[in-house]
Amino acid sequence: MTIPTKKKMAPAASKLYADDVSLLMVLIDTNPFFWNSINTSLSFSKFISNVLAFLNSILLLNQLNQVVVIATGYNSCDYIFDSSALQNHNQKGESLLQKLEEFVDKDESLCRDDSVDGPGFSLLSGSLSMALCYIQKVFRSGPLHPRPRILCLHGSPDGPGQYVAIMNAIFSAQRSMVPIDSCIIGAQHSAFLQQASYITSGIYLKPQLLDGLFQYLTTVFATDLHSRSFLQLPKPVGVDFRAACFCHKNTIDMGYICSVCLSIFCKHHKKCSTCGSVFGQAQTQDSSTPDRKRKTSVDN
Amino acid sequence: MADGQVMKRAKYKSSVKDPGVPGVLKMTRERFVFMPNDPNSSRKLNVEFRTIKGHKFTKEGSSRQALLNLTQEHGGNYILEFDSFADRDICREFVAAAIAFHGETGKATSEKPAAPLQGEQLSTAEMEHRIKLLQEDNELQMLHKQFVIGGILTEAEFWATRKKLLDQNDRRMPKQHVALKNEMWSVKPLSDGQSNRVTFNLTPEIILQIFAEKPAVRQAYLKCVPIKMSEKEFWTKYSRAEYLHSTKNVVAAAAEAAEDEELAIFLKQDDMLANEARRKIRRVDPTLDMEADVGDDYLHLLDHGLLREESKDVLDSQYEPYRRYFSQDLNQHAAVVLQGRVVDVELGDTRSVAEALARTKQAELANEASEGNSEIDLSHRISRIAEMDDLQGPRDPAVAHLCIKDPGDYFDSQQANALKALGDTGSGVKTLKCNVSPLEAYGSLRELVSEIRVRGLSEPITNPEVAFTVLSGLTQNISSTKYHLGKNPHESVLDSLPKVTREDLLHHWTSIQELLKHFWSSYPITTKYLYTKVTRLKDALSQVYPKLQEIKESVQSDFRHQVSLLVHPMLQALDAAFAHYDADVQKRSAKNGERTNGFV
């Protein structure tokens, strides 16, 4: 996929791609089980209409702004909208909704589960990777490109199985200096996205009033990255980086760390259960055991 | 004390019973001066600390008098009585420091400088150092005043966490290992020139050296004295043997040895030494190749370049045991000197010296035997050196097999914990529809999508009131001080607070930190002492709690929010400590229930 705007504006690109031009990758959660389980305060149709209005306002903010929407489904994810690929500018919403329907069908056909307990997990790692791939492609298209950012409109709980993939995506985004903004529309906080936004210096927000989602989106997430540096946007109250011990899975403040593989334990073990290293005897008579490190949660 | 002198009222007594002469005692680093109140009295004192060897003192309470007894090098002593034990203790510490000072700088004769002041007692120098530290650091002084004088922490506990501060200027020399004289004892016979008498002078020091260098002599001494012969006879015999050696007349020595069995021991080569030499050679690294070092320039000289007019003439093999080589002596002497003084006994008693040396030797041998595997180790090393590199297969690096668990099951649980820790309230409110079939779920989603397609966007998208609430909520949230905190170093929230509140807050913060440092370092509680310490600290901490609350309430409403933001982390830290304390107490009591003997 090439970027038509780039092609069209090629001669004047250097002037036109000012620092306030954005490429906004929007990841919308289309996990049907989540939308089915959520209470009526925000239905999917209402959510989509809010998002559509938001996308329109982004495109209105700057003529060169580009919006790409990726649907994060239960079994798959896909691009459902790309403002640069669209020929008919008057039917943005229509084309998005059509693609969305197709996507839902496809996602359903991939579904092999007979029934799903609870809201299920959406494939956030997949859509994050797709967004990053798209951004990489834009980066490689030439020296001049809009400044990309990722906005996750996420509601499903975090899928623990995706932890490593998501963390890798986060670090990849951090490396390419792409902020990941997150707007949590579900009932629970997302530890993944909290960390993602923290690490990539994006914004993490869990709106209190889902009725006013559009207002939240426009106030917090609409501004381009350049203007963002002049604004005061909500800051996270604190990210809990406390780790859980490998043995009992309790979140701990203080514990033992394997010197070989950095596994965390809440009490002294003779052998690391992760890497199998054999530890020496802890000096229990010493009141300040040297290998007992304190891990404190960050409060900022 | 800080300016290096002490002046106290005291009485000088010639004996404990003596009523004493009242006067003033003045002590400086160098000397102490006693001036009687009565100027006509002759009992003045002006003594240099250099001459003072030690000091004794009466225990507090054990007798009425607060006495300090300074013992002089040559037997004399000065008894001083003080008005109070406090006075006495100050002087005692000063004296100890002064003696230690002169012991270190003056001469090495006093081997136990300030030794009685170990443990709870502190030398004056250390005390001064601490006081200096306290004076330099206002905050430290405040903490010290609050906790040490307030009885929450002991002096030792307080400084234990600041060892670094103390060590910085602590240039005290470690106790030195006393070596032997690096001088070979060669007999210098004193002949008076008239008769044929030859006199040897043996001091206990020399005897120690002989015993250390010549195990055979030591053994002979233990065996013969005093059963077979007296000490004097023994040494006479030894001296005779030495004399014979010094004449270098091997033939004469052999002849004498043939006559006297005991004398032979001294004249023959030392079997024990030879054994030890063999043992030591075995410990030499097999990679050491003496042949390769043949080019070293001192080796081409005969007898390692040591000039000694050894008899060049070839002797019969029967005389061989009576020959002694200078290089052997030199090596043995060097080994003993390097080892230093290994025994710590009074030199006067020759027998005990000999026995002590024998014991250490035995202990050494036992140690070596217990190591045991050195033989195996050696053979391993030899075989490794002997093997040819290019004929060996690649040696596998010693790596442990790596086994890594599936990380999934870890993150699985961590996720749940993380969410729990975030303090979600939403999850409890709404009921999730469980067990939804995909058909139903996707169906409803599709329905919703088509709903928008048919109906279009709702008008208006957001209710203006809701939008206003959101906007003002966000603005309020953003403009809260929390965001500004620490952003600008020039204007902090603290500056906007009244001075008193600000200082209170800072002070409480440092004191909480101090207490918490001690609190956490006491865990795990292994001794009764730690248990009481923790209890004490916990009580102190719980006293801080209401004070913080007071501060919060005392400030004006404009600042209350900011102050509560500042106080919050302090309270959190306190709460964490209390929670840990309670959990520990519970665990402890549960354990005690199981085991009735009740540890701690």
3-state secondary structure of A166: helix
Q: Is the Cβ–Cβ distance between B421 and A251 less than 8 Å?
A: yes
- CA nearest A190: which of A220, A158, A152, A165? A158
Is residue B183 less than 8 Å (CB to CB) from chain A?
no
How many C-beta atoms surround the C-beta of residue A288 within 10 A? 12
**pLDDT score of B322 more than 70:** no
pLDDT in tens, B42-95: 777 777 777 777 777 776 665 567 777 777 766 677 787 877 777 777 877 777
Closest approach of B477 to chain A, Cα-based (Å) = 7
B189 token code pair = 């016979």
Evaluate whether A118 touches B432 at the Cβ level (below 8 Å).
yes
Can you give A212-258 as a three-state secondary structure string? HHHHHHHHHHCCCHHHHCCCCCCCCCCCCCCEECCCCCCEECEEEEC
Q: Which residues contact A60 (CB under 8 A, 6 or more apart)?
A: none
Closest CA to B10 of A84, A268, B26, B18: B26
- Asked if A187's CB is within 8 angstroms of B427's CB, the reply is yes
**Cβ–Cβ below 8 Å for B419 and A287:** no
Strands B31-36 and B21-28, bridge-based pairing: antiparallel
Give the global pTM. Answer: 0.43
**Ramachandran area for residue A278 (φ above 0: left; ψ -120 to 50: alpha; else beta):** beta
Taking CB atoms and an 8 Å cutoff, what residues of chain B touch A32?
A: 438, 441-442, 444-445
- Note whether B458 contacts A234, CB cutoff 8 Å: no
Q: What is the mean pLDDT of residues B326-349?
A: 71
Chain A residues whose beta carbon lies within 8 Å of the beta carbon of residue B438: 32, 74, 108, 111, 113-116
Quick one: B26 exposed, middle or buried, by C-beta within 10 A (0-12, 13-18, 19+)?
A: middle
Pick B426's closest partner by Cβ from A48, A160, A187: A187
**Which pLDDT score is estimated for B173?**
45
Structure token digits, residue B190: 């004193």
Look at A96-110, B137-151, B426-440 and tell me which has the smallest mean pLDDT: B426-440
Q: Does B476 touch chain A (CB under 8 A)?
A: no
* Of residues B10 and A170, more confidently modeled: A170
Distance from CA of A149 to the nearest CA of B (A): 22
Q: What is the pLDDT of residues B459-473, one digit of tens each?
A: 777 888 888 888 888
Q: How many CA atoms lie within 13 A of B506 on its CB side?
A: 12
Contacts of A100 in chain B (CB under 8 A): 449
Instruction: Tell me the count of A-B CB pairs closer than 8 A.
Output: 214
Residue B600 in contact with partner chain A when CB distance is under 8 A: no
Phi, psi of B13 (to 5 degrees): -125, 145
pLDDT (0 to 100) of residue A286: 44
Whether the CB-CB separation of A214 and A200 falls below 8 Å is answered with no
Residues 433-472 (B) with a CB less than 8 A from some CB of A: 433-442, 444-446, 448-453, 455, 457-458, 461-463, 466-467, 469-471
- Whether the CB of B473 is below 8 Å from some CB of chain A: the reply is yes
C-beta atoms of A189 and B444 within 8 A: no
Q: Is B523 in Cβ contact with A160 (below 8 Å)? A: no
Determine contact, residues B469/A208, Cβ cutoff 8 Å.
no
User: Which residue pairs, CB below 8 angstroms and at least 24 apart, start in B469-476?
Assistant: B469/A209, B469/A212, B470/A207, B470/A208, B470/A209, B470/A212, B470/A215, B470/A216, B470/A219, B471/A215, B471/A219, B473/A208, B473/A209, B474/A216, B474/A219, B474/A220, B474/A234
CB-based contact A163 B426, cutoff 8 Å:
no
Q: Hey, which residues 401-430 in chain B have their CB within 8 Å of chain A?
A: 401-405, 407-408, 410-415, 417-422, 424, 426-427, 429-430
pLDDT band at A20 (very low <50, low <70, confident <90, very high): confident
pLDDT of residue B573: 86
B449 closest CB neighbour out of A97, A276, A294: A97
Yes or no, beta carbons of A160 and B474 under 8 Å apart: no
Look at the block and give the residue holding tokens 């240039």.
B171
- CB pair distance less than 8 Å for B417 and A244: yes
The pLDDT tens digits of the residues spanning B246-297 come to 766 667 767 777 777 667 767 666 677 777 777 777 777 666 666 666 655 5
